Structure 1
Amino acid sequence: MKKSLRKQVLQELKSLSKEEKQSMNDWLTEQFFQHPFYKEAKTIATYLSFPHEFQTAKLIEQAQKDGKTILIPKTYPHGKMDFVLYEPEKLERNSFGLLEPKGNFSIIEPSLIDLIHVPGLAFNPSGYRVGYGGGYYDRYLEHFPGHTISTLYPCQIQDFQPEHFDIPVEEVLIYEKDF
């Protein structure tokens, strides 16, 4: 079920026009900056996005201007993931094609992270998500004490039953305007 849902949503995401995506990204980024979770956070973990995903570059840039500490994921085999300081000069592409930290980096303890901006392909109305299938975020979020938020395009809201190990995102921002 998750495999076909991933394929369907990925296809829908890739079919969005550049203009649609830009409009939705701008609106969602603004909603993110207005959210109390963002305003209260000092340390924010986010992700470096694929072209078909919500684009995080402006979010990262503005958060840094706002004095926030930005973290990005570092993944390891067997679904393990840590968050490390975002240092653009220390990035390289991993086996999934994502930019990830290389060399020496400092792992930040989960208790020091105020907010995680969680990626995903599909989300149900209760905030449960379907990611890319590695289980990295579900494992990490299982014991994470801070806030979680996701930014979604309308096609990412899907009706599915979560599995027992799935961890919901606390707050989901969904693009709501007409084009």
Structure 2
Amino acid sequence: MKESTRATVLQALKCQDKKEKAYKDREITELILAHPSYQTAQAIATYLPMEYEFNSYGLIDAAQADGKTVLIPKVTGPGQMVFLPYVSDQVVESYFGVLEPVGGQVVDKSRIDLIHVPGVAFNAKGYRIGHGGGYYDRYLANYMGATISTIYDFQRKEFKEEVHDIPVQEVICK
């Protein structure tokens, strides 16, 4: 079930109209910036997007302009990741095809106020289907801060969550 949902939604993501996607990305960014969890956060973890994902660069630029610390993930082993400070000229493409930081000090999850969690599909309860590695579910298992995800309307799907899945607290959808 999850595999077919993942494949269907990934195909839809890759076929989006670029102008419509850019418009939705701007709308979603404005909704995040107005969100109370963003407003009160000092340290925000997000991700550097693949071409078809929500373009988080607007969020990153705004957060840095607002004086917030922006963190991005780095895979450290099978199913394991950490967050490090984002410096635009200190990233490299990883084995998975995403940009990761090449240096910096790992930030303990207790110091992260808000995590912007990526995903391929989300159900009505905030459970997600990611790319299949389980990195975020493992990381969020004992995370106590705020979580938020951003999706396009066609990414909202119904599926049964599994015992190891961790829901996000809020999903912003356009």
Structure 2 length-normalised TM? 0.98
Cα deviation, 1:33-75, whole Å, max 9, x if unaligned, reads 0000000000000000000000011110011000100000011
Gaps in structure 2 of 5+ consecutive residues: none
Percent of aligned pairs with the same amino acid: 49
Partners of 1:30 and 1:88 lie apart in 2 by 22
Which amino acid in structure 2 is aligned with residue 42 of structure 1?
Q
Give the C-alpha shift of residue 152 in structure 1. 0.7
1:82 corresponds to: 82
Partners of 2:9 and 2:105 lie apart in 1 by 34
> Which secondary structure does the structure 2 equivalent of 1:76 belong to?
strand
Give the C-alpha shift of residue 9 in structure 1. 0.2
Matched, 1:137 2:126: no
Which amino acid in structure 1 is aligned with residue 97 of structure 2?
G
Matched, 1:31 2:31: yes
Partners of 1:133 and 1:76 lie apart in 2 by 16
Q: CA RMSD in A?
A: 0.7
Structure 1 length-normalised TM? 0.95
1:20 corresponds to: 20
> Which secondary structure does the structure 2 equivalent of 1:31 belong to?
helix
Cα deviation, 1:79-107, whole Å, max 9, x if unaligned, reads 001000111222110011111112x3200
Structural mapping, 1:19-98, within 5 Å: 19-98=19-98
Give the C-alpha shift of residue 76 in structure 1. 2.1
> Which secondary structure does the structure 2 equivalent of 1:89 belong to?
coil
Partners of 1:26 and 1:90 lie apart in 2 by 25
Which amino acid in structure 2 is aligned with residue 85 of structure 1?
P
Partners of 2:52 and 2:60 lie apart in 1 by 17
